[in-house]
């Protein structure tokens, strides 16, 4: 099996670690019904890729086998931001597979986290929707789901391009990463509706980059917040 190393993996402080642990524990409570989980956001730079990797790491530490699929085919940031080092020079990714240039085993990488695997994006493309609409994408997620406990899919933002809606069709559930004070409630509700129209259940939202003034020694909007993360697992309420 091919392998890679995340040379720069962000360490969380205690409070943030506890928030992600709580999130992942709640995911495990949902059972096997939600194996293929899309992690997305409304806009860019809300922390969806960061959250995807933290969930991958934490689930693996909880004893689960998990693979993270980088499906942000146009603007992936994982390789650069986390300085991914591949064991060999023949780097292949999901775009190679979707284009029919290789097989699943060629894009399935073991990581430096035990029980955690990664499918990189490969090369950037402009025709991402055509590739994601291919039966090979559904086949990829189906086959991966047979090998691991969880398939996480880091998708493009819902509010930017239609790729996320196409990806959602192949997923059981979705988590919305919400940047603190970066998203209007109306836009968040529209994102939820867009995902659910694709037949994918929105499992909840994770509020990211919460400042200390919003969570220190109190509740924010009636929910407990930890460090920079706030984990909300119930369905989003359709209120303005």
Query: For residue 237, is it within any domain?
Result: no
Assigned token pair, 59: 């689930």
Q: What pLDDT score does 214 carry?
A: 64
Query: For residue 174, is it within any domain?
Result: yes
Give, for all 240 residues of the chain, the pLDDT tens digit. 999 999 998 788 888 888 899 999 999 999 889 999 999 999 988 889 999 999 999 999 999 999 999 999 998 999 999 999 999 888 999 999 999 999 999 999 999 999 999 999 998 888 899 999 999 999 999 999 999 999 999 999 998 789 999 999 999 999 999 988 878 889 999 999 999 999 999 999 988 877 766 655 444 333 333 334 444 433 343 333
Query: For residue 20, is it within any domain?
Result: yes
**What's the domain count of the chain?**
1
Q: What pLDDT score does 149 carry?
A: 98
Query: For residue 143, is it within any domain?
Result: yes
Length of the chain equals 240
Alpha helices in the chain (DSSP H): 14-29, 48-61, 78-81, 94-98, 104-107, 128-132, 135-147, 163-168, 185-197, 212-215
Assigned token pair, 71: 């499906």
Query: In terms of residue numbers, what domain contains 215?
Result: 2-232
Determine the Cα–Cα distance for residues 193 and 178; give it in Å rounded to an integer. Answer: 15
Query: For residue 21, is it within any domain?
Result: yes
Whether this prediction's pTM lies above 0.75 is answered by: yes
Whole-angstrom CA distances from 234 to 35, 42, 43, 111 are 18, 18, 21, 31
Query: For residue 49, is it within any domain?
Result: yes
Question: For the sheet containing 173-179, what is the strand order?
Answer: 84-86, 2-6, 109-110, 116-119, 66-70, 150-154, 36-41, 173-179, 201-208, 229-232
Instruction: Compute the chain's Rg from CA coordinates.
Output: 17
Query: For residue 240, is it within any domain?
Result: no
**CATH number of the domain that residue 17 is part of:** 3.40.50.300
Determine the Cα–Cα distance for residues 20 and 54; give it in Å rounded to an integer. Answer: 7
Residue 88, judged by CB atoms within 10 A of its CB (0-12, 13-18, 19+), counts as exposed
Query: For residue 225, is it within any domain?
Result: yes
């Amino acid at each position: 099996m091919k392998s890679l190393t995340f040379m720069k993996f962000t360490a969380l402080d205690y409070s943030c670690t506890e928030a992600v642990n709580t999130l992942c524990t709640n995911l495990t409570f949902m059972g096997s019904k939600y194996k293929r989980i899309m992690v997305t956001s409304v806009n860019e730079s809300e922390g969806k890729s960061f959250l995807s990797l933290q969930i991958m790491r934490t689930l693996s530490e909880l004893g689960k086998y998990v693979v993270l699929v980088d499906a942000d085919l146009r603007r992936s940031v994982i390789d650069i931001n986390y300085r991914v080092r591949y064991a060999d020079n023949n780097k292949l990714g999901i775009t190679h597979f979707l284009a029919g240039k290789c097989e699943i085993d060629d894009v399935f990488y073991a990581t430096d986290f035990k029980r955690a695997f990664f499918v990189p994006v490969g090369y950037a493309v402009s025709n991402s929707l055509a590739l994601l609409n291919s039966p090979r994408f559904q086949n990829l997620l189906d086959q991966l789901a047979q090998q691991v406990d969880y398939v996480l899919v880091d998708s493009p933002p819902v509010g930017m391009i239609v790729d996320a809606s196409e990806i959602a069709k192949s997923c059981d559930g979705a988590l919305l990463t919400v940047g603190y004070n970066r998203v209007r409630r109306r836009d968040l509700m529209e994102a939820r509706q867009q995902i659910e129209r694709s037949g994918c259940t929105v499992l909840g939202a994770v509020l990211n980059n919460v400042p200390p003034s919003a969570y220190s020694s109190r509740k924010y909007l009636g929910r407990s917040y930890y460090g920079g993360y706030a984990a909300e697992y119930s369905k989003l309420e359709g209120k303005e």
